[in-house]
Amino acid sequence: MKVLFRSLIGIGLMIAVWHMGAMLLNKSIVPTPVATLRYMGGLLASGEVVAAAGQTAWKAFLALFLAVLIGMPLGLCLGLSDTLYDVFRPLLMVIQAVPVIAWLSLVIFAWGIGWRGPVFLTFLSLLPISVLTTISGVHNLDKNLLEMARLYRVPRRKVFGTIYLGSLLPFAVAILDVSIGQAWKTILVVEYLCGGSGLGVKILMARMNIDFPGGWALTLIAVLLGLATERLIKFGLKRIFHPWITV
């Protein structure tokens, strides 16, 4: 209850600051929270924004799924082999350092406007997180367990399935925990720049039409969806993996 009460206080402070900003500035540029919520209700009632949110959501989850599906096995291989790690580390650093906007022209030339660009660039931004977190998990394995398994001649298949995969489970959860917020932010930016559909495109249209209330309302919808999906994923992981980890 204390945590909930403090969270409500924090939300109340943000709303108060937002309202004060709207009072001090031009309300057509910074609408009040009440006006934004009313506008958001109208957008949601139309159904068009709900469809756009669904399009953004499946692209974000596809990119996240691919990042985990490819990043974790790759991170496991690099974590087990110092040679492979030294070879691939510069590439990972480059992917991590290059901003999304730098890949944009290549993506547009390759696929044009559509869903492939947002999915690919979001996947590319999440891949280093997945790989490096998995490598960290491999390097932090309990060496005593590995030594005991070697002394008792435990089959390699069992060592891999029980010790390695079991020890990496908290790191897999950490990847999802960190990446879901990053996925939402990246997918919206790339949709804004080269997407064919989704909330990012809706925000772009609001800007082009000089629809400031619409832009604020769409941004608020995106924020609420990002927070909701993050909490749902954490809740699901907690229910599934509760005996082994704490989310």
pLDDT at 41: 86
Task: Please state, in angstroms and as integers, the Cα–Cα distance from residue 19 to each residue in 30, 33, 35, 240, following that order.
Answer: 9, 6, 10, 41
Whether residue 199 lies inside any domain: the answer is: yes
* DSSP H or E stretch at residue 154: none
pLDDT at 142: 64
pLDDT at 112: 82
Q: What is the pTM of this model?
A: 0.82
d(CA 197, CA 76): 35
Give 4's Cβ-side CA count (13 Å radius): 1
Domain of residue 218: give its range: 45-241
pLDDT at 146: 62
Length of the chain as a residue count: 247
Split into its structural domains, the chain has a count of: 1
Specify whether the CB–CB gap between 247 and 173 falls below 8 A: yes
d(CA 91, CA 186): 20
Specify whether the CB–CB gap between 219 and 191 falls below 8 A: no
Instruction: Render 11-54 in DSSP notation, one character per residue.
Output: HHHHHHHHHHHHHHS-TTTS--HHHHHHHHHHHHHHSHHHHHHH
Whether residue 14 lies inside any domain: the answer is: no
Whether residue 2 lies inside any domain: the answer is: no
Whether residue 247 lies inside any domain: the answer is: no
Whether residue 206 lies inside any domain: the answer is: yes
Whether residue 27 lies inside any domain: the answer is: no
Sequence-distant (≥ 6) Cβ neighbours of residue 14 within 8 angstroms: none
Whether residue 5 lies inside any domain: the answer is: no
Whether residue 138 lies inside any domain: the answer is: yes
How much of the chain is in helix, strand and coil states, percent to nearest 5?
85, 0, 15
Tens digit of each residue's pLDDT, the chain (247 residues): 676 677 778 788 888 888 787 787 766 678 888 888 888 888 888 888 889 999 999 999 999 999 989 998 898 888 888 888 888 888 888 888 888 888 888 888 888 888 888 999 999 999 999 998 888 888 777 666 666 666 666 666 666 656 666 667 777 777 888 888 889 889 999 999 888 888 999 999 998 888 888 888 998 898 888 888 888 877 776 666 655 554 4
Give the domain CATH number at 159: 1.10.3720.10
Sequence-distant (≥ 6) Cβ neighbours of residue 70 within 8 angstroms: 127, 130
Sequence-distant (≥ 6) Cβ neighbours of residue 212 within 8 angstroms: 28, 29, 30, 31, 206
